[in-house]
Amino acid sequence: MGFINCVNVSMVSNLINYPLILVNLKSYSETMGAKAEELAEITQKISSDTGIRIGLAPQFTDIQRLKRFEIPIFSQHIDGIFPGAHTGHILAEAVKSSGSVGTILNHSERRMLLSDIESALKRTKEVDLISVVCVNTTNVGMAVAAFDPDIIAIEPPELIGTGIAVSKAKPEIILESVEAIKRINKNVTVLCGAGITCGEDVFSAIKLGSSGVLVASGIVKASNWKNILQEFADAALKAKKDEGTE
Ligand code: G3P
């Protein structure tokens, strides 16, 4: 039984809790096809042992093969289109029926116009997909907050893939964006990402006010997925306990 079927609720946002670790598999060959299933198996075990929610955003073509795992699966993008005559677009209904509970939008590597973010967000609400909108600056985060997404992930593009963590190199952007986004829309959850590679990075991100992390290379390219995911989950748990929410 997959994650989306394991709880009898209609709103998928109820399937997520925080802190959330969301692993974007991008177009990495290390986590494609059968390797994505291997990572999902490890993720499911660590998530169930620690109680920390860990989601995966695989390549579109791997969504279906991951739906049997009891972890939240996210699409890497959708377009603000309706079923019909569109070619080369990603339809909200299609990623949902393949097994996604949510979707990333406006990733730095898949930027969208503000108007396209708005129409894609409308589709996530109609189809009941959790939305994670990436933003490169606090100001863009404030603009997007007005569209009422579920989650905004602040990611300074210059740190993506560098191994230099946003929580170490730019702690002020986490503090500032959480405050500014919540001021516009208190219902939005804020994550951060870019360069997160170890438990300490996860711990500091959460202590700075982020509700979790969006990560890619730090997990995908690690030599031992089990060890690194365990380290991330333990750090998230420690931060959660410190906050007195555990
Ligand atoms: O979507 C996650 C992201 O862009 C951060 O990438 O490789 O710095 O963890 P990375």
Contact (CB, 8 A) for 191 and 132? yes
Separation of 21 CA from ligand 1 center, angstroms? Answer: 12
pLDDT digits (tens, 9 = 90+) for 130-148: 999 999 999 999 999 999 9
Percent of the chain scoring above 90 in pLDDT: 91
Q: How far is the CA of 218 from the centre of ligand 1 (A)?
A: 8
Alpha carbon 2 to chain centroid, angstroms: 18
If you measure from the C-alpha of residue 9 to the centroid of ligand 1, how many angstroms do you get, rounded to a whole number? Answer: 31
Which tokens in the block code for residue 137? 């600056």
Summarised one tens digit per residue, pLDDT across range 95-120 is: 999 999 999 999 999 999 999 999 99
Model pLDDT, residue 243: 79
SS3 sequence of the chain: CCHHHCCCCCCHHHHCCCCEEEEECCCCHHHCCHHHHHHHHHHHHHHHHHCCEEEEECCHHHHHHHCCCCCCEEECCCCCCCCCCCCCCCCHHHHHHHCCCEEEECCCCCCCCHHHHHHHHHHHHHHCCEEEEEECCHHHHHHHHCCCCCEEEECCHHHCCCCCCHHHHCHHHHHHHHHHHHHHCCCCEEEEECCCCCHHHHHHHHHCCCCEEEECHHHHCCCCHHHHHHHHHHHHHHHHHHCCCC
Q: Is 107 a catalytic residue?
A: yes
pLDDT at residue 1, rounded to an integer: 56
Given a cut of 50, whether residue 6 has pLDDT beyond it is: no
| Whether the CB of 43 sits within 6 Å of ligand 1 | no
- Mean pLDDT value across the chain: 95
**Please, are residues 209 and 190 in contact by the beta-carbon 8 Å criterion?**
yes
Residue nearest to atom 5 of ligand 1 (CA): 194
C-alpha 32/C-alpha 30 separation (Å) is: 6
pLDDT at 9 over 50: no
pLDDT of 15: 78
Write down the pLDDT at residue 245.
53
List all residues 6 or more positions away from 84 whose beta carbon is below 8 Å from its beta carbon: none
Task: Please say if the pLDDT value at position 4 is more than 70.
Answer: no
User: Which atom of ligand 1 is least distant from the CA of 197?
Assistant: 9
Q: What pLDDT was estimated at residue 8?
A: 39
pTM of the model: 0.95
Each residue of 180-229: pLDDT tens digit?
A: 999 999 999 999 999 999 999 999 999 999 999 999 999 999 999 999 99
The CB of 75 under 6 Å from ligand 1? The reply is no
What is the per-residue pLDDT for 5? 47
Task: With a cut of 80, say whether residue 10 has pLDDT above it.
Answer: no
The pLDDT score that the predictor gives to residue 12 is 77
178 lines ligand 1 (CB under 6 A): no
Q: What's the confidence (pLDDT) of residue 185?
A: 98
CA atoms of 150 and 110, how far apart (whole Å)? 19
Q: What average pLDDT score do residues 5-14 get?
A: 56
Grade residue 231 by pLDDT with cuts at 50, 70 and 90.
very high
Side chain identity, residue 120: A
- What the chain holds in terms of domains, given with CATH numbers, is 3-241 (3.20.20.70)
* Cα–Cα dist 19/206, whole Å: 8
- Catalytic position from the list 107, 109, 118, 176: 107
Ligand 1 mean position, distance from CA 164 (Å): 11
Could you tell me the maximum CA-CA distance found in the chain, to the nearest angstrom? 52
